Structure 1
Amino acid sequence: MIGIAIGALTLAIWLYLLLANGGFWLARERDTAGLPAAPPTWPEVVAVVPARDEAEVIATVIASLAAQDYPGDFRIVLIDDGSSDGTATLAAAAGGARLTVVSGVPLVEGWTGKLWAVSQGIAAAGTPRYLWLTDADIAHAPDTLRSLVTRAEGGGLALVSLMAKLRCVSFAERALVPAFVYFFEMLYPFARVNAPRGIGAAAGGCMLVRRDALERAGGIAAIRGALIDDCAFGALIKRHGRIWLGLTDRARSIRRYDTAGSIAAMISRSAYAQLDYAAWKLAGTIVGLGLIYAAPPLLAVLGSGPARMLGAAAWLAMAVSIQPMLRFYRRSPLWGPALPLIAAFYGACTLLSAWQHWQGRGGMWKGRAQAARG
Structure 2
Amino acid sequence: MGQTARVSAIVWTAAVSLAAWLWLLLCQGFFWRTDVRLPPQGDPGSWPDVCVIVPARDEAAVLPLSLPSLLAQDYPGRAEVFLVDDGSTDGTGELARDLAARHGGLPLTVASPGEPPAGWTGKLWAVRHGIALARARDPEYLLLTDADIAHEPDSLRLLVAAARTGGFDLVSQMARLRVESLWERLVVPAFVYFFAQLYPFRRIGRKGSRTAAAAGGCVLLCADAAERARVPDAIRHAVIDDVALARAVKGSGGHIWLGLADRVDSVRPYPRLHDLWRMVSRSAYAQLRHNPLLLLGTVAGLALVYLVPPAAVLAGAAGGDPAAVLVGAAAWLVMTATYVPMLRYYRQPLWPAPLLPFTAFLYLLMTVDSAVQHYRGRGAAWKGRTYARPDAVTDEG
- Class of the TM-score when normalised by the shorter of the 2 chains: over 0.9
Aligned to 2:129: 120
**Match of 1:244, SS?**
strand
Asked whether the equivalents of residues 300 and 308 of structure 1 are also in contact (C-alpha less than 8 Å), the reply is: yes
Aligned to 2:302: 289
The answer as to 2:339 corresponding to 1:322 is yes
User: What CA deviation, in whole Å up to 9, does each residue of 1:28-71 have, x standing for no partner?
Assistant: 2012xx42212111000000000111110113221111000000
Q: Could you tell me how far apart the structure 2 residues matched to 1:36 and 1:248 are?
A: 15
Q: Could you tell me how far apart the structure 1 residues matched to 2:120 and 2:308 are?
A: 41
Shift of 1:249: 2.3
Aligned to 1:17: 24
User: What CA deviation, in whole Å up to 9, does each residue of 1:95-120 have, x standing for no partner?
Assistant: 34610011222211001110011000
Aligned to 2:177: 166
Matches within 5 A, 1:247-266: 247-266=260-279
Q: What is the identity, as a one-letter code, of the residue corresponding to 1:262?
A: D
Matches within 5 A, 1:1-374: 1-31=8-38, 34-95=39-100, 96=104, 98-126=107-135, 127-198=138-209, 199-239=211-251, 240-303=253-316, 304-372=321-389
Q: What is the identity, as a one-letter code, of the residue corresponding to 2:271?
A: D
Aligned length: 372
Shift of 1:5: 1.3
Q: Could you tell me how far apart the structure 1 residues matched to 2:231 and 2:29 are?
A: 30
**Match of 1:270, SS?**
helix
User: What CA deviation, in whole Å up to 9, does each residue of 1:141-172 have, x standing for no partner?
Assistant: 00100010000000111000000000001111
**Match of 2:351, SS?**
helix
Q: What is the identity, as a one-letter code, of the residue corresponding to 1:165?
A: R
Structure 1 runs of 4+ with >4 Å offset: none
Asked whether the equivalents of residues 31 and 196 of structure 2 are also in contact (C-alpha less than 8 Å), the reply is: yes
Q: Could you tell me how far apart the structure 1 residues matched to 2:185 and 2:57 are?
A: 27
Q: What is the identity, as a one-letter code, of the residue corresponding to 1:122?
A: I
**Match of 2:189, SS?**
helix
Q: What is the identity, as a one-letter code, of the residue corresponding to 2:181?
A: S
User: What CA deviation, in whole Å up to 9, does each residue of 1:237-279 have, x standing for no partner?
Assistant: 1122111101012111111100011000000010000111011
Asked whether the equivalents of residues 361 and 371 of structure 1 are also in contact (C-alpha less than 8 Å), the reply is: no
Q: Could you tell me how far apart the structure 1 residues matched to 2:388 and 2:180 are?
A: 31
Asked whether the equivalents of residues 158 and 243 of structure 1 are also in contact (C-alpha less than 8 Å), the reply is: yes
Q: Could you tell me how far apart the structure 1 residues matched to 2:41 and 2:62 are?
A: 33
**Match of 2:268, SS?**
coil
Q: Could you tell me how far apart the structure 1 residues matched to 2:331 and 2:350 are?
A: 17
Q: Could you tell me how far apart the structure 2 residues matched to 1:346 and 1:13 are?
A: 19
Which structure has the larger Rg over C-alpha atoms? 2
Percentage of matched positions with identical amino acids:
50
**Match of 2:286, SS?**
helix
Asked whether the equivalents of residues 227 and 371 of structure 1 are also in contact (C-alpha less than 8 Å), the reply is: no
Q: What is the identity, as a one-letter code, of the residue corresponding to 1:294?
A: L
Q: What is the identity, as a one-letter code, of the residue corresponding to 2:155?
A: T
Shift of 1:331: 1.1
Q: Could you tell me how far apart the structure 1 residues matched to 2:274 and 2:361 are?
A: 14
**Match of 1:26, SS?**
coil
Structure 1 residues 178, 361: CA separation in 2 closer, same or farther (over 3 Å shift)? same
Q: What is the identity, as a one-letter code, of the residue corresponding to 1:184?
A: F
Q: What is the identity, as a one-letter code, of the residue corresponding to 1:62?
A: L
Q: What is the identity, as a one-letter code, of the residue corresponding to 2:144?
A: L
Shift of 1:219: 2.3
Shift of 1:371: 3.3
Asked whether the equivalents of residues 80 and 107 of structure 2 are also in contact (C-alpha less than 8 Å), the reply is: yes
TM-score, length basis structure 1:
0.97
Q: Could you tell me how far apart the structure 1 residues matched to 2:388 and 2:122 are?
A: 11
Asked whether the equivalents of residues 231 and 248 of structure 2 are also in contact (C-alpha less than 8 Å), the reply is: no
User: What CA deviation, in whole Å up to 9, does each residue of 1:264-295 have, x standing for no partner?
Assistant: 00000100001110111111111111111111
CA RMSD, Structure 1 to Structure 2 (Å) = 1.2
User: What CA deviation, in whole Å up to 9, does each residue of 1:188-230 have, x standing for no partner?
Assistant: 0000011112211000000000000110111210100111100
User: Mean Cα displacement is larger for which, 359-368 or 91-100?
Assistant: 91-100
Q: Give structure 2 stretches of 5+ with no counterpart.
A: 1-7, 393-397
Q: Could you tell me how far apart the structure 2 residues matched to 1:103 and 1:234 are?
A: 25
Q: Could you tell me how far apart the structure 2 residues matched to 1:366 and 1:4 are?
A: 47
Aligned to 2:5: none
